[in-house]
Amino acid sequence: MSRRFAAPLTAVDRVGTCTATRVEAVKEIVADDPYLVGHYPDFTIYPGVFTLESVHQAVRLWAREHRGGHATADLVRIDSLSFAAPLLPGDTLHIGCDVAEDADDPHLVRVRARCTRGDGTLAARATLGLRIREEGDPAPAPGAVPAAGTAPAPGGTRAPGAAPVADHAPVLDHAAVRRVLPHRHPVLLVDEVAELVPGEHVVATKAVAGSEPCYADLAEDLPGSAYAYPASLLVESFGQSGAVLWLRTAEAAGTPVRGTLVFGSARDVSITGSARPGQVLRHVVRIDRTIGDNVLMEGEIWAGGERIATVGSVLAAVRGGLSAAAP
């Protein structure tokens, strides 16, 4: 079945309740879903950001039902997102979202989501902001939903690591990235590393191509806004860039990580733009602080010289190996 927006997979199989203030949906986790085979090759697991994708798709369905058949919803804000338990092939994901119109903006909805496995175990919680618009309308303008307590970034603001650089050998080419990260095609979302200072920051790139699986099932004759790279993959690509920084930081300190770095939570993420096929994402990730086997990172995502997202905080944690306890 064709989609009207780019997505890594069909993240909602069926919808139950869909009222003006509540949507509930279900996703069956299957091993042959797109992207899952590469996350991870030796232990297939539903990526945490795909739980975010499931919530996003549930709210898109809510928007079509309650805001008109041509309405869609763009994820523009992650106030908080945390993962509590993994989802494995054979599990059932239950998505429950309370939807409320923003008091100051009728086109913005605030969503509180609680996601559980079929056995009732909490899998994830999220507090999000999504902008409702008509299909074909422009995507939200930069700065439309600034991070709490901060001024919106000017559309043309550049950072030293985010501006295009001269064509020269990267710090880590793709072969080297594959030796650092456990992810594999098609969910290995770091192409190369342009800058890396252990303990400080990394600048990593990901080229967006129209041949990627997220564009495979799009309907014909869609507007350009339908080709926005999925927000869930933006977050995943940023997280993988941060994983490269942390793993190389530990290696430089002589204490290589024994286990797998997993995505624990995110806060204060503001998505103010989008990337389309033909553009290159540049992730600027900085280490905020480390707490035992956990690391807090923050940074920005750029595309075409424009800052399209700011990440206030991402928590990554080391697990002693891939197992049913790893989110």
Catalytic sites, residue numbers? 39
Which residue stretches of the chain are H helix?
Answer: 48-66, 174-180, 231-252
Q: Which amino acid is at 170?
A: P
Which of 138, 128, 134 lies closest to 23 in space, CA to CA? 128
Structure tokens at 100: 């409320």
Give which of 294, 165, 171, 316 is closest to 238, Cα–Cα.
316
- Sign of the CA dihedral with 163 first, then 138, 146, and 288 last: negative
**CA-to-CA distance for 172 and 169, rounded, in angstroms?**
8
Of 7, 1, 57, 5, which is closest to residue 222 (Cα–Cα)? 5
Tokens representing residue 83 in the block = 């993962």
- When computed from its CA atoms, the radius of gyration of the chain, rounded to whole angstroms, is 19
Q: What angle do CA 272, 51, 110 make, to 5 degrees?
A: 50
CA nearest to 61, candidates 100, 87, 22: 22
Interior/surface letters 134-160, b for 16+ CB within 10 angstroms, e for the rest: ebeeebbebebbebeeeebbeeeeeee
Which amino acid, one-letter code, is at 105? Answer: D
Supply the DSSP string of 202-229, one letter for each residue. EEEEEE--TTSGGGTTBPSS--GGGGPP
With vertex at residue 149, the alpha carbon angle to CA 143 and CA 151, rounded to the nearest 5 degrees, is 35
